[in-house]
A = this chain, B = another copy of it.
């Protein structure tokens, strides 16, 4: 069955409990949709913060929503902003860092938990 989750004035979503992300300070994860083939999450990174520099078997589809990002993608680095899109391939090194004074917000799509390939 379908569902609507309205964004709240505080930046969270109805019915979605914000969670810490892998014990990285300043990064909060919101699990927006858990569907059979994919998950849709929203991450917010505090100014000056960054997600873990990591690689893993599952891929990511990212759309920047707000703020400025320095994105590590394999051996490359890119400075990106709202509307820009990143595909992180399987086992590709990646990190999202918030530049400037504004939090970095991005949508991150991933396969369902446990389907890494």
How many copies make up the complex? 2
Is A28 interfacial (CB 8 A cutoff)?
A: no
Is A48 interfacial (CB 8 A cutoff)?
A: no
Residues of A within 8 A of B (CB-CB), count: 41
* Chain B residue at minimal CB-CB distance from A38: B38
Is A22 interfacial (CB 8 A cutoff)?
A: no
CB distance from A36 to the nearest CB of B (A): 7
Is A13 interfacial (CB 8 A cutoff)?
A: yes
Interface residues of A (CB under 8 A from B): 1-7, 13, 32-33, 35-38, 40, 59, 61, 63, 65, 71, 73-74, 76, 78, 80, 82-89, 92, 94, 107, 109, 111-112, 115, 117
